[in-house]
Chains A and B, each alone.
Chain A
Amino acid sequence: MESQVAMSEPESDAGLIAACQQGDREAFRLLFEQHKDRVYSVALYFFGGDAAQAADITQQVFLKLFTKIAQFRSEAEFTTWLHRLTTNACVDEQRKLRRLTQFDEATGQRTVPAGTGQEYVYARREVAERVTAAVAELKPKLRVAILLKYFEGLSYEEMAEALGCSKGTVASRLNRGHKMLARRLGHLRSMLGPGEQEVNRK
């Protein structure tokens, strides 16, 4: 089928969803390209850096999205579904894995994305690896909240919608998640640059 979407410039989700609903395979691919890294990152850090697991989850999420694409009436509905599917897929997979096995330090493929530079990059990777491990030890509800906030960039209200809970619950989960990270990794404070310790308060 001939593609109905522009190839050269970024397309809005709404346009892509409409094209997907007409069965445009190229639109599927572009929609995947726009969201794949965020979905993959959430899954990667949810499973403590397990790249194979993150790839499986990403495939599951997009397959489900694409088979249900006809049901989305708006872009907002689509993105809410995307976040819900991602978090549910992670939590469900962890439940299944618990029945199959427990996550094992020795055999899991732990990868933290490589960056560029030298000592700075080395320090960044060191911090990222420790944070990855600490996030993986959080309870799933706290872990999901942290990952949605930092990789999907959702507001508390959007997170509440995606997680099916109140804004207060979102705030509480993030509070507990931040606190636990700080308590476990307080010794890394000196490895964070001064700018990195600033928060969003204006």
Chain B
Amino acid sequence: MFRQHVSQHLSAYCQDELAPPQARRVAEHLLGCQRCRGKYEEIKLGVALARALPMADAPAALWQGIEAALAQQERAGATTGAHAPRRPFILFATWPRVAALSFASLVIAALVGGWLYLRPPAAAWDVARLAGAPQIGMERIGQTGRLAVGEWLETDSNSRAEISVARIGQVEIEPQTRVRLVETRATEHRLELARGTLHARIYAPPRLFFVDTPSAVAADLGCAYTLEVDDAGRSLLHVTSGWVALERGARESVVPAGAACATVPGTGPGTPYFEDASDSFLHALVAFDFRQGGAQALDTVIAEARLRDTLTLWHLLARVDGAERIRVYERLAQLSPPPDGVTRDGVLGLNEAMLQRWKDDLQGKWLHESFPAVRRVWRSLWQ
């Protein structure tokens, strides 16, 4: 018999996971130990309760979403040709064909060599290895590498890399990330983030650097930010300084420092929010944006909004209509009255100039509230 109590073995005993001699010793101990018998009854009840959970049927529509995403990945070349059948190598059997082929090869080689010699330098960005073995295309890079237009940079679970974005900033690539250089020219630099996480620090005029994700485009407005994309194509943007615009079609979310915004394929950018908002505010906002939360979710957002959350309310004005727009307007006006020249009718009619003017007025409050520490430092310098 176990001299010590056997309570730590009781689940394994219940589920026949102990070796026979050990199970026998537990059984013998239970016969003589009232305390462990009590615990055994408790574990048995826990097992019975856990078993009461029925298997759930996954919704039938799930497969359609998976199939669509697989097709999209295939189109994007994400499957790296693993499924492509290999074409057999064909031998040319006759000498005339061999001669003709050789001549053609020489001509092609001369043309290609001339083009390689004469072509302008290829557009490419420098990549530095930070950890592990990042790959460009199928090749692992050493300490440094070059990412050309159209090429993919990929990190595994142990790798990290840093890309120098022309002369305007850096992008740090976290593990399990896949990015492609889409374009680099004087007026536009563009990456595609297929999955994973990047941190961008850009020192350039607005709208010079873009990141395409499966559900939206992140347009830099002079800033630093983190952008994550998961396997379902959803993304989460977190801005640490400056501003970033998330865009998809006519839908745009402008996200300042300290704020975040999620995007979902098919829906596009959600409504931006400050991360220190209340839990119920944030949950209601997610429900409103992505889960058909409707009027109930909107009620919670309106009720819980603070002065900083005018960021969210301002964006919501154009995303709701009718009575809901009136409620959003009234809460926004209550938290921060519209400036001179901005009228209730104009805002409810989505007058672009008035909305912009109100936003300009609110921005000071968003940024002002975003940097309490910076504000303190400024004050101390002037005192």
In Å, the complex CA distance between A29 and B63 comes to 7
In B45-84, the 8 Å CB interface with A consists of 45-59, 62-63, 65-67, 69-70, 73, 78-79, 82-84
Q: A37-B57, A63-B66 known; A201 and B42 CB under 8 Å?
A: no
From the candidates B8, B59, B285, name the one contacting A172 in the complex (CB within 8 A): B8
Question: Quick check: is A131 within 8 A (CB to CB) of the other chain?
Answer: yes
In Å, the complex CA distance between A124 and B48 comes to 12
* Residue contact B287 to A107, C-beta cutoff 8 Å: yes
* Residue contact B62 to A131, C-beta cutoff 8 Å: no
Q: Give chain B residues whose Cβ lies under 8 Å from the Cβ of A188.
A: 49
Closest approach, in angstroms, between the C-beta of B304 and any C-beta of chain A?
A: 11
Question: Quick check: is B15 within 8 A (CB to CB) of the other chain?
Answer: yes
* Residue contact A60 to B230, C-beta cutoff 8 Å: yes
Question: Quick check: is B346 within 8 A (CB to CB) of the other chain?
Answer: no
Q: A28-B70, A37-B58, A104-B280 known; A146 and B65 CB under 8 Å?
A: no
Question: Quick check: is A122 within 8 A (CB to CB) of the other chain?
Answer: no
* Residue contact A25 to B49, C-beta cutoff 8 Å: no
From the candidates A96, A124, A174, name the one contacting B236 in the complex (CB within 8 A): A96
* Residue contact A131 to B50, C-beta cutoff 8 Å: yes
Residues of A contacting B: mostly: helix
From the candidates B44, B69, B282, name the one contacting A59 in the complex (CB within 8 A): B69
In Å, the complex CA distance between A156 and B211 comes to 45
In Å, the complex CA distance between A202 and B14 comes to 9
* Residue contact B232 to A201, C-beta cutoff 8 Å: no
* Residue contact A179 to B286, C-beta cutoff 8 Å: no
Question: Quick check: is A151 within 8 A (CB to CB) of the other chain?
Answer: yes
How many A residues touch B, CB cutoff 8 Å?
Answer: 81
Q: Give chain A residues whose Cβ lies under 8 Å from the Cβ of B284.
A: 104, 107
Closest approach, in angstroms, between the C-beta of B220 and any C-beta of chain A?
A: 22
* Residue contact B44 to A199, C-beta cutoff 8 Å: yes
From the candidates A33, A66, A107, A171, name the one contacting B283 in the complex (CB within 8 A): A107
In B132-170, the 8 Å CB interface with A consists of none
The total of Cβ contacts below 8 Å across the A-B interface reads: 209
Q: Give chain B residues whose Cβ lies under 8 Å from the Cβ of A183.
A: 42
* Residue contact B49 to A185, C-beta cutoff 8 Å: yes
Q: Which residue of B lies closest to A64 (CB)?
A: B231
Closest approach, in angstroms, between the C-beta of A135 and any C-beta of chain B?
A: 7
Q: Which residue of A lies closest to B61 (CB)?
A: A55
Interface string of A8-22 (1 = CB under 8 A from B): 000000000000011
Closest approach, in angstroms, between the C-beta of B310 and any C-beta of chain A?
A: 19
In Å, the complex CA distance between A174 and B51 comes to 13
Interface string of A106-148 (1 = CB under 8 A from B): 1101011101000000001001100110110000000000100
In Å, the complex CA distance between A192 and B45 comes to 9
* Residue contact B55 to A181, C-beta cutoff 8 Å: no
Closest approach, in angstroms, between the C-beta of B84 and any C-beta of chain A?
A: 8
* Residue contact B52 to A100, C-beta cutoff 8 Å: no
In B81-124, the 8 Å CB interface with A consists of 82-84
* Residue contact A101 to B52, C-beta cutoff 8 Å: no
Question: Quick check: is B275 within 8 A (CB to CB) of the other chain?
Answer: yes
In A150-195, the 8 Å CB interface with B consists of 150-151, 155-156, 167, 171-172, 174-175, 177-183, 185-186, 188-189, 192
How many B residues touch A, CB cutoff 8 Å?
Answer: 63
In A45-104, the 8 Å CB interface with B consists of 45, 51-52, 54-56, 58-60, 62-64, 66-67, 70, 96, 99-104
Closest approach, in angstroms, between the C-beta of A48 and any C-beta of chain B?
A: 12
Q: Give chain A residues whose Cβ lies under 8 Å from the Cβ of B280.
A: 104, 106
Question: Quick check: is B243 within 8 A (CB to CB) of the other chain?
Answer: no
Closest approach, in angstroms, between the C-beta of A31 and any C-beta of chain B?
A: 11
Q: Give chain B residues whose Cβ lies under 8 Å from the Cβ of A196.
A: 48, 51-52
In Å, the complex CA distance between A62 and B297 comes to 30
Q: Give chain B residues whose Cβ lies under 8 Å from the Cβ of A151.
A: 53, 55
Question: Quick check: is B329 within 8 A (CB to CB) of the other chain?
Answer: no
Q: Give chain B residues whose Cβ lies under 8 Å from the Cβ of A22.
A: 83
Q: Give chain A residues whose Cβ lies under 8 Å from the Cβ of B49.
A: 127, 131, 134, 181-182, 185, 188, 192
* Residue contact A100 to B262, C-beta cutoff 8 Å: yes
Closest approach, in angstroms, between the C-beta of B146 and any C-beta of chain A?
A: 27
Q: Which residue of B lies closest to A168 (CB)?
A: B8
In Å, the complex CA distance between A104 and B87 comes to 55
Q: Give chain A residues whose Cβ lies under 8 Å from the Cβ of B56.
A: 37, 40-41, 44, 54, 111-113
From the candidates B46, B54, B58, name the one contacting A181 in the complex (CB within 8 A): B46
Q: Which residue of B lies closest to A202 (CB)?
A: B16
* Residue contact B283 to A102, C-beta cutoff 8 Å: yes
Contacts A111-B56, A131-B53 known; list 6 others, CB within 8 Å: A28-B70, A107-B291, A151-B55, A167-B17, A171-B17, A182-B49
Listed by A's residue number, 24 A-B pairs whose Cβ atoms lie within 8 Å are: A32-B66, A33-B63, A36-B62, A38-B55, A41-B53, A58-B58, A59-B66, A59-B232, A67-B73, A100-B282, A100-B286, A101-B285, A101-B286, A104-B284, A127-B49, A128-B53, A131-B50, A175-B7, A179-B43, A181-B49, A181-B50, A185-B49, A189-B45, A192-B48
6 nearest interchain CB pairs?
A178-B46, A23-B83, A40-B58, A101-B282, A101-B283, A104-B283
